Chain A
Amino acid sequence: MSRLEILRFALRGLAANKLRSFLTTLGILIGVAAVILLVAFGEGASQSIQKSIQRLGANTLTVSASFGGGGFGGPAAGGSRQGNGPRTQARQLTLEDAKALADPEQVPSAKSVSPVVSTGSATAVRDGASHTISQLVGTYPSYFEATNKPVETGSYFVNDDVLAARKVMVVGKTVATELFGTANPVGEQVSLSGVPFTVIGVLKESGSSGLGSQDADDVAIVPLPAVQQSLTGFGALSSIVVQATGTDTTTSAQNEVTAVLNQRHGITPTGSADYRILNQATLQETVSSTVGIFTGLLGAVAAISLLVGGIGITNIMLVTVTERTREIGIRKAIGAPRGAILGQFLLEATVLSLLGGLTGVLIAFVGTRFTVAGIEPVLVPSSIALALGVSVGIGLFFGGYPANRAAKLRPIEALRHE
């Protein structure tokens, strides 16, 4: 009896009970598709979070005052109403702080130090077109590198522009399109709260901000004194961005920055600091582990759905074989060898599992084309292998094991089975 023949028997066996075959296939399909899709969405979410952290710049420390005074990117929430630290000593971050941090003697691990003044929502007007920029940043040229903001067209501003407090600006993609449409904004004039600025560069698009609600491309960056002169005044800094010399020096940079600031702000080792340092590396670690838990949870849900699918398959396979024990008896009585019977049932199970499994993979592939709630799913190959492996394995085992048991019976025992 040839293999082809056994395959033909198996297919005929499946065709003989279409509804049951369909339901088994459906069970496997849902299990496989659910696992792959859930894992893909978990992975997509985690990657998008990682990406938005990386976009903030690598190896950077962001120092900001710990009591209001305009946190990074947020609108200034003046005052220290809920300040619980030693209020008398609380001091803002100043340009002098930044300059002290830039001293290579005291902070050897810093590659660059960029003082930052940022205001939320500044209105930009150009030829009647007006746009409210959600983030206006006044800083030094090193800011571009530290925060990973490359210019696409035009150029950065340089130290000279800072010293001369020139009214030049580098704008984000969103600002450029809002104000100029498709035209090249470089060299054009834009007035910010009535003060004319010349656009000298457009930042490379950072892409959709993923989970964050803020558009990272809705930004304008100008020399620090320019923004202080015309908009914010020469007050405190919003933050200081310190870029470490490398990944392995961020921690030492943080220690050095802490030492300098503690000294300058007169903070004793026991007192609480009036500033805080956001370490990109630690942030990334924290978020990674959070995302890891999240992905793990999704994985658990997926595993449960696979388990439920597996129980479904097991159930149908067991019922199928039990129900067909009599048929096995008939086949044995007319001289079917055990191998042929087992082969037929194993093939039936294989065909069903593979059909369901592969359709499930196909559906998962189609499903991962869609972006749901801002998450772009990312297929994880190992999840495909796992889902397929488990469902086909379950199908084979629970199709094969009872079939083998039935095929071992004496024909008369199988025939008497009801």
Chain B
Amino acid sequence: MTAPVLSLTDITKVYGRGDAQVRALRGVSLTVERGDYVAVMGASGSGKSTLMNILGCLDIPSSGRYLIDGVDVGTLDERRLAILRNRKIGFVFQSFNLIPRMSALANVELPMAYGGVSATERRTRALAALEQVGLSDRVRHEPNELSGGQQQRVAVARALVTSPALLLADEPTGNLDTKATGDVLEILDGLSEAGRTIVLITHEDDVAAHAKRVIRLVDGLVVDDHRQAPVDGPPPRSATRTQPVPGGAS
């Protein structure tokens, strides 16, 4: 195929300096093909979030090369980076990060507003995305009127509404209960099945079991890269997704 969606070469990230220096990433090299579904696992403090923030162009690496769709991110200026974040990347945060006092619909429309999509098309696409995450009946609600699971689904809708090449999720289910976790994973599985490239961080094996590939980080280094299903096939758990997860199962 064409260039991989993600290509990292020897990425390092050092926080602070002197005695307080923390080497969060110590040379990560990684390639993610289009349509892959990757789960990143590792102990707390192993550098998962650091890696994810670099992938999402929210932070810059201390050294190393990072390409998205063959474009070297390090060479982009502020304006191009904003366009890249807007068009190519959908980011789902552990803490949802919806904008307060704005309705679910407005939150989902926001990336398209910055992307210059017309108001009517924005409305249609936002409603479609909200329907996709099963929140058609909550479009007028503001974040503080939604449950955690619902907020995360709004965040997922916001991330996927621009049809980004890459969907990144940092512990999207970290703050959710089993039922809500199931809902979000179901959506992600569906997106993967539809061919979207997904990278997510998780602590839970159950969540990682949904991915086609599992990467383990220890102290800022990739120590294990394990494929569970082929890149161009469906996600491993997708077949069972037709039935809902039994409630309360761990």
Question: Are B53 and A337 within 8 A (Cβ)?
Answer: no
- A97 adjacent to chain B (CB < 8 Å): no
From B78, B101, B102, B110, give the contact of A334 (CB < 8 A): B110
From B60, B99, B106, give the contact of A331 (CB < 8 A): B99
Question: Are B91 and A334 within 8 A (Cβ)?
Answer: yes
- A71 CB, nearest partner CB in chain B, Å: 73
| Interface-located stretch among A111-119, A362-370, A394-402, A409-417 | A409-417
- B101 CB, nearest partner CB in chain A, Å: 4
- Which of chain A's residues has its CB closest to B84's CB? A335
Question: Are B97 and A415 within 8 A (Cβ)?
Answer: yes
- Which of chain B's residues has its CB closest to A2's CB? B116
Residue of B56, B60, B101 with most chain A CB atoms under a 10 A cut-off: B101
Question: Are B58 and A334 within 8 A (Cβ)?
Answer: no
- B179 adjacent to chain A (CB < 8 Å): no
Question: Are A16 and B58 within 8 A (Cβ)?
Answer: no
- A338 adjacent to chain B (CB < 8 Å): yes
- A201 CB, nearest partner CB in chain B, Å: 76
Question: Are B99 and A333 within 8 A (Cβ)?
Answer: no
From A327, A329, A335, give the contact of B82 (CB < 8 A): A335
> Which secondary structure dominates where chain A touches chain B?
helix
In Å, the complex CA distance between A412 and B180 comes to 26
Question: Are B86 and A334 within 8 A (Cβ)?
Answer: yes
Residues of A216-269 at the interface with B, using a CB-CB cut-off of 8 Å, are none
**A378-418 vs B, Cβ < 8 Å mask (1 yes, 0 no):** 00000000000000000000000000000000111001000
Residues of B contacting A410 in the complex (Cβ-Cβ under 8 angstroms): 58-60
Question: Are A330 and B97 within 8 A (Cβ)?
Answer: yes
In Å, the complex CA distance between A334 and B78 comes to 14
- B119 CB, nearest partner CB in chain A, Å: 8
Residues of A contacting B86 in the complex (Cβ-Cβ under 8 angstroms): 334-336
**A333-350 vs B, Cβ < 8 Å mask (1 yes, 0 no):** 111111010000000000
- Which of chain B's residues has its CB closest to A9's CB? B113
6 contacts between A and B (CB under 8 A): A16-B101, A333-B56, A337-B79, A337-B114, A411-B59, A412-B53
- A173 adjacent to chain B (CB < 8 Å): no
- B233 CB, nearest partner CB in chain A, Å: 31
- Which of chain A's residues has its CB closest to B89's CB? A335
Residues of B contacting A335 in the complex (Cβ-Cβ under 8 angstroms): 82-87, 89, 111, 114-115, 162
- Which of chain A's residues has its CB closest to B90's CB? A334
**B132-146 vs A, Cβ < 8 Å mask (1 yes, 0 no):** 000000000000000
Question: Are A332 and B97 within 8 A (Cβ)?
Answer: no
- A372 adjacent to chain B (CB < 8 Å): no
- B158 adjacent to chain A (CB < 8 Å): yes
Residues of A305-351 at the interface with B, using a CB-CB cut-off of 8 Å, are 326-327, 329-338, 340
- B100 adjacent to chain A (CB < 8 Å): yes
In Å, the complex CA distance between A338 and B110 comes to 15
With known contacts A5-B113, A12-B102, A412-B53, A334–B59 Cβ distance under 8 A = no
Q: Add 9 more A-B contacts to A17-B101, A335-B85 (CB < 8 A).
A: A9-B113, A12-B102, A326-B97, A327-B99, A333-B56, A335-B82, A336-B114, A338-B79, A412-B59
- A351 CB, nearest partner CB in chain B, Å: 17
- B76 CB, nearest partner CB in chain A, Å: 13
**B111-136 vs A, Cβ < 8 Å mask (1 yes, 0 no):** 10111100000000000000000000
In Å, the complex CA distance between A340 and B56 comes to 20
With known contacts A1-B113, A5-B113, A327-B99, A332–B85 Cβ distance under 8 A = yes
In Å, the complex CA distance between A335 and B86 comes to 4
- A9 CB, nearest partner CB in chain B, Å: 8
In Å, the complex CA distance between A410 and B85 comes to 12
Question: Are B78 and A338 within 8 A (Cβ)?
Answer: yes
- List 8 tightest A-B contacts by C-beta distance, closest first: A335-B86, A16-B101, A335-B85, A411-B58, A412-B58, A337-B82, A412-B59, A334-B111
- Which of chain B's residues has its CB closest to A12's CB? B102
- A175 CB, nearest partner CB in chain B, Å: 71
Residue of A1, A17, A329 with most chain B CB atoms under a 10 A cut-off: A1
Residue of A329, A332, A333, A335 with most chain B CB atoms under a 10 A cut-off: A335
- Which of chain A's residues has its CB closest to B113's CB? A5
- Which of chain A's residues has its CB closest to B98's CB? A330
- Which of chain A's residues has its CB closest to B52's CB? A412
Residues of B contacting A9 in the complex (Cβ-Cβ under 8 angstroms): 113
- A192 CB, nearest partner CB in chain B, Å: 81
Residues of A contacting B162 in the complex (Cβ-Cβ under 8 angstroms): 335
In Å, the complex CA distance between A16 and B143 comes to 13
In Å, the complex CA distance between A412 and B114 comes to 19
Question: Are A16 and B97 within 8 A (Cβ)?
Answer: no
- B126 CB, nearest partner CB in chain A, Å: 13
In Å, the complex CA distance between A288 and B136 comes to 74
With known contacts A5-B113, A410-B60, A412-B53, A330–B87 Cβ distance under 8 A = no
Residues of A contacting B158 in the complex (Cβ-Cβ under 8 angstroms): 334
Residue of A12, A329, A336 with most chain B CB atoms under a 10 A cut-off: A336
Question: Are B114 and A1 within 8 A (Cβ)?
Answer: yes
In Å, the complex CA distance between A326 and B58 comes to 13
In Å, the complex CA distance between A415 and B78 comes to 17
Residues of B contacting A332 in the complex (Cβ-Cβ under 8 angstroms): 58, 82, 85
- B74 CB, nearest partner CB in chain A, Å: 14
- Which of chain A's residues has its CB closest to B80's CB? A337
In Å, the complex CA distance between A1 and B98 comes to 20
In Å, the complex CA distance between A333 and B96 comes to 12
Question: Are B110 and A331 within 8 A (Cβ)?
Answer: yes
- B222 CB, nearest partner CB in chain A, Å: 21
Residues of A contacting B113 in the complex (Cβ-Cβ under 8 angstroms): 1, 5, 9
In Å, the complex CA distance between A335 and B56 comes to 11
Question: Are A340 and B114 within 8 A (Cβ)?
Answer: yes
Question: Are A16 and B83 within 8 A (Cβ)?
Answer: no
In Å, the complex CA distance between A333 and B155 comes to 12
- B167 CB, nearest partner CB in chain A, Å: 13
- B171 CB, nearest partner CB in chain A, Å: 14
